[in-house]
C-alpha cells in the first residue's frame, strides 16, 4: 500500500502552527517514514502534484489569494483539517474585522511616525498585490472542513496523535491535556 500523502499551507497565519508541527521533534523522522509530503511551505513543492489524503490548513482568509488556495486544498485533499485559532475563527488577524480596511492601510502607510516623506500619500495598490478582503474569514465559512484542532498553536502532541490516528484509521485519543486551549 502506498503511503498517505499530506499537504500543508499557511494562509493568514503566523506560521506558529507549522512550527508546532515541527515541535514533534524527533518524531519528524518517524513521520517521514509514515507519510509522503506534497505541496507544503517546508519543501519546494508549490503546486499540487497529485490527490492528497490529508490537508492541514493554518490561518484564515484575509485576501483573495488565501481563498483561492483554500479552495484548491479542498479540491485536492480527501480530509481537510484546520490547525489552530486563526484557521478556525480568524484569530488575531480578525481583530481588524470591526475596522474599515482603509483605516488600517492609512495607519500603516500614512500615519506611521517613521513614514516621514510620503508626500504623494502612496498606499500600496499595485496590480501584483492580491485583493484584501473586507474581513478576515474563518476557513469553514468558505469550504467544508472535516476536523478542527484548537489552540494557538495546537500542541505538537495533539497534531501528532491526530495524524497518527488518521493514518492508522482509528479514532484519535484526545485527552484533556492535549486539547485544552492554552
Residues numbered 145 to 174 that lie near another protein (CB under 8 A) are: 145, 152-153, 156
Burial class (CB in 10 A: 0-12, 13-18, 19+), 154: buried
Residues numbered 135 to 164 that lie near ligand SF4 (CB under 6 A) are: 152-153
Name which position in 31, 34, 69, 92 contacts ligand SF4 (CB under 6 A): 92
Name which position in 7, 16, 67, 156 contacts ligand SF4 (CB under 6 A): 16
Nearer to ligand SF4, 89 or 143 (CB): 89
Closest approach of ligand SF4 to the CB of residue 180, in Å: 15
Rule CB under 8 A: say whether 180 interacts with another protein: no
Rule CB under 6 A: say whether 84 interacts with ligand SF4: yes
Check if the beta carbon of residue 53 is closer than 8 Å to that of residue 78. Answer: yes
Q: From the list another protein, ligand SF4, none, pick the one residue 63 interacts with, judged by a Cβ distance below 5 to 8 Å according to partner type.
A: another protein
Give the H/E segment covering residue 74. Answer: helix 64-76
Nearest to 29 by CA among 158, 160, 155, 151: 160
Rule CB under 8 A: say whether 30 interacts with another protein: no
Coil/strand/helix, residue 86? helix
Residues near 120 by beta carbon (within 8 Å), at least 6 away in sequence = none
What's the rounded Cα separation, in Å, for the pair 38 and 5?
7
Q: Residue numbers of the site for ligand SF4 (CB under 6 A)? A: 13-14, 16-17, 58-59, 84-86, 91-92, 152-153
Amino acid at each position: 500500500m502506498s503511503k498517505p500523502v499530506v499537504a500543508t499551507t499557511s494562509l493568514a497565519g503566523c506560521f506558529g502552527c507549522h512550527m508546532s508541527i515541527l515541535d514533534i521533534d524527533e518524531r519528524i523522522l518517524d513521520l517521514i517514514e509514515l507519510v509522503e509530503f506534497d505541496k507544503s511551505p517546508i519543501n519546494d513543492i508549490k503546486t499540487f502534484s497529485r490527490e492528497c489524503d490529508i490537508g492541514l490548513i493554518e490561518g484564515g482568509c484575509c485576501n483573495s489569494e488565501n481563498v483561492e488556495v483554500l479552495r484548491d486544498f479542498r479540491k485536492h485533499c480527501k480530509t481537510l483539517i484546520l490547525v489552530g485559532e486563526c484557521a478556525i475563527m480568524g484569530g488575531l488577524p480578525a481583530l481588524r474585522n470591526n475596522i474599515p480596511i482603509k483605516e488600517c492601510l492609512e495607519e500603516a502607510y500614512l500615519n506611521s511616525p517613521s513614514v516621514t516623506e510620503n508626500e504623494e500619500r502612496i498606499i500600496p495598490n499595485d496590480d501584483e498585490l492580491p485583493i484584501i478582503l473586507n474581513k478576515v474569514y474563518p476557513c469553514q465559512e468558505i469550504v467544508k472542513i472535516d476536523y478542527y484542532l484548537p489552540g494557538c498553536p495546537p500542541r505538537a502532541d495533539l497534531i501528532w496523535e491526530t495524524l497518527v490516528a488518521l493514518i492508522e484509521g482509528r479514532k484519535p485519543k484526545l485527552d484533556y491535556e492535549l486539547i485544552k486551549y492554552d
